[in-house]
Each structure stands twice: as structure tokens, then as C-alpha cells.
Chain A
Amino acid sequence: MSTAIDPYQLWGERTSLLPKKLAYVFSLDLRFRIEPSKAYWIGNELACRLEIEPASESDPHHTYHVLDSNLVELPNGSIHDVPSIRATSGGDWLRLRKNSTAELDARVILDAEQPRGTMPADPRRMVKRMALRYGGVANLTRPHLLFTDGEPTAVGREGATQNGEEKLGTAFVALRFDSSHPLYRWLVITQYVGFGEVHIATDFHEEAKRRYRRLRFSYDVYSAG
């Protein structure tokens, strides 16, 4: 694929930027549990595994289009169905630095349902399994809320609490999908990035609060090109 850029301008130190494009693909909500008692130190970093909370019957889908569109267009011009994917298992091996930045390293198993408009073949094959791997950084405003054992007293006092959860920071990740199904090949062959927010739940039972925290990572996933 040749481009229209003057080849003589490219090499050497350029004085202009290369063309770039980001295209919104879908949004992805992932819910995790974190047990403060299982956190441990690795050098100067506090490490803990966040465990995926599987999708429930009342909330079966973790992907959606914020404008409820069924189709998305990638930077290369190809048009695809917004996939209907739910997380079933996996985790995020989070490492928190002293400057409140957390390294994210997640492996998630996703189940994708038969896309709209396609013929349902063998019902046993309607659910397509997919692997998601992403890494990146989360900039947390009050990371102590994740790891303090017992009553999370600060929750709901300093920050704005909305719908039973409170924003804890932002997250930026690079995502890779893997699937053997041809319908999702377009997800496999493209680099994706996610702009996200981290929320901590404040609404669950007091006893559970003492054992674990619940986090929601909400990403807008973009394809770059």
C-alpha cells in the first residue's frame, strides 16, 4: 500500500507529523474484585491480582456502543458489527507505584455471541470464545481505597458518589484480541487502544467491604490507523 506522502520528506528529521486517525469501535466495561489482604510488595510496588466478576444475567454484555449504533467503521474503511462480548473469567495483575500510577497487565476470556443478522448454525457453536490481553497505566487519585483493610471510610466522602460507585482515576491501555473465529478476525489483526475510567463500588454489603473491593474499568476502545 503506497501513500501519497512525499518520500523525500520522510527520511531524515521530519518537520511535519505523519497522518493519524482514531476510530471509535466500542465501549467495554470490565468488573473486578480485589482482595486487599492478598496484596504484596514487589520492591517499591504493591502488587495484587484483580479477578474478573463474570457477567450476570441482568447484565449479560460488557460491550456496547455509546450511541447504540450497530456498525463501526475502522480507519482502513472496513465496516463491522459492534461485537457483543461478555467477560467470563480472567484477571489483571496490577502493580501500584508510590506515585499512584498503577501498571495494568490483564488477561481476560471473553465470550462473543453470534452477530446480528447471521444465520444461527449449530447452537453449541453460537458462542465464540475470545482472549483479550491488555496492558497500560492507571492514574489513581486515591489508591489507598484499594488496599486499606476493613471499612473504606474515605469512600463516598471526598469524591462524588454516583450510582453506587465513585470515580477513582483514569486508565489508558493497549489491547489485543485473539480469536479463531473468522467473524472476529478484524479484531485480531488490528491494534486497539482504550481510554478509560476506574470506578470503585460503594454500595455493596458491609461485610463484603471488609473482604474485598469491587472495581469497574470502563473503556472506550479505539482502532488506530
Chain B
Amino acid sequence: MNQPNAHSLPHRRTFLDKSLLYLFSYDVEADMDRQEIGLVPGGARVNILARPGLSRVYHVMRERTVPGLGFTAISGTLTWGGDWAFWREDDVEFSEVRMTIHTDDGGTIHGFYPVISYLGPGGFRRVVGEKGKIGTEKEPVDWPVITSPRFETTSPAYFWMMDLQCLGFGLVRIVKSEIRRITYDVYALS
């Protein structure tokens, strides 16, 4: 008997439900003492660390719970963070970011995500070269960056974060091709 087969079905004609649920924001002050690895095959590597104690995690509306989920809102300090950046010769940045959030109620949350960012035409040369550096002290450049963070924790109050795929909309402030400050809004895909 011929059964209906999913493989021969016409494709879907409606969009799937989608929403972004705002979770928290954080600001990072980058340490100017970068760990410059230098030119490597295919590009250049540099490790950029956050200045500990100066990076906050907060809810822009100062809510105590996450609206829509009812869980405790994340508020605290980003105690450690690092960005292992790889600037490719084809003007694309691939980074691996790791960070530790210490919440005000004593929880510890580990965050990690990759970053893909297009540096613009000639961006690689501007980032690693001496000429045409991006941004000045008087006119810094705010570069939009998109990330896809995930979180892990052993703090029961924040177990719910491990079940989420998140999306971060951020701005990176660049002066003389160096990252000075970073700010992000983190949303959960739902």
C-alpha cells in the first residue's frame, strides 16, 4: 500500500513561530594589554581579555525576574572574560569567547560563544597594519557584532539557562583598530 511519504511532500508554506526573549545585558571594558600572537597561516591571532571588576551584567529595565519566564533575572559582575580572535586574510573575524558571570546572589555562570564578523573591505590590513587604522580617540567606531551565546552553570537558580540557545546583539567600540569596550544585549531564541 502506498503510504504518504514525508520526502515527497511539498515544502512548508508558513513561517514557524519565532520570538526573542530579552534576558540581560553586559558591558565589558577590554584590557589594553592584549596578548598578540601575530601573523599565523591564514591570518592573525590576538587574545583580548576583559578588565576584571569593571564589567557589569544587568537588566536594562532593572527587572528582578525575567519577564515571560519568571526566573531570577541575571545581575552581577563579569569576573573574567576572554576573546580568542582570529582575523582572517579574507577580512572575516572568527572569535571564540569565554566568560564567567558571578551573580549578585552568589551563582556562577559560564558563557561561551563563537563570533563571526565581517571586517569590511580591506579590514584585515587595517586591523593588523599601521596605516588606515579603524577609529580614533576623538571619533571611535562602534561596530555592530552578532553572537550566539550558550551558558552552563551548577547554580540551581540558573539551570534554566542551559536549555537556551541565545542570540547577542552588540556594539564594539574600536579606537586605532583596538577593541576598547563592548556592550551586548542577550536574547533567548524561543
- A18–B129 Cα distance when bound, in Å, is 31
* Closest chain A residue, CB of each to CB of B184: A18
CB-based A-B contact count at 8 angstroms: 150
* B15 pairs with A3, CB closer than 8 A: no
Q: Which of A106-114, A152-160, A171-179 contacts B (4 or more CB under 8 A)?
A: A171-179
- A169–B18 Cα distance when bound, in Å, is 14
| Chain A hits for B6, CB < 8 A | 31, 163-165, 199, 201, 203, 214, 216
A166 → B minimal CB distance (Å): 10
* Closest chain B residue, CB of each to CB of A194: B189
* A99 pairs with B163, CB closer than 8 A: yes
B156 → A minimal CB distance (Å): 13
* A220 pairs with B183, CB closer than 8 A: no
- A199–B13 Cα distance when bound, in Å, is 16
| Chain A hits for B131, CB < 8 A | none
B107-124 CB mask vs A (1 if < 8 Å, else 0) is 000000111101010000
B19 → A minimal CB distance (Å): 9
Which residues of chain A from 91 to 106 have a CB within 8 Å of any chain B CB? 99, 101
* A220 pairs with B16, CB closer than 8 A: yes
Indicate if B27 sits at the interface (CB-CB under 8 A): yes
A58 and B171 contact, Cβ closer than 8 Å, known pairs A195-B16, A222-B18: no
Which residues of chain B from 1 to 32 have a CB within 8 Å of any chain A CB? 3-9, 11-18, 20, 22, 25, 27
A107 → B minimal CB distance (Å): 14
A188 and B92 contact, Cβ closer than 8 Å, known pairs A99-B163, A172-B190: yes
Indicate if B43 sits at the interface (CB-CB under 8 A): no
Indicate if B146 sits at the interface (CB-CB under 8 A): yes
Indicate if A136 sits at the interface (CB-CB under 8 A): yes
- A64–B169 Cα distance when bound, in Å, is 27
Indicate if A84 sits at the interface (CB-CB under 8 A): no
A–B Cβ pairs within 8 angstroms, 9 of them: A1-B144, A2-B139, A5-B142, A10-B173, A15-B60, A22-B20, A163-B4, A191-B146, A203-B6
Top 4 nearest A-B pairs by Cβ distance? A174-B148, A172-B189, A172-B165, A195-B18
Which residues of B approach A to under 8 Å, CB–CB?
3-9, 11-18, 20, 22, 25, 27, 56, 58, 60-61, 92, 113-116, 118, 120, 139-144, 146-148, 150, 162-165, 167, 169-171, 173, 181, 183-185, 187, 189-190
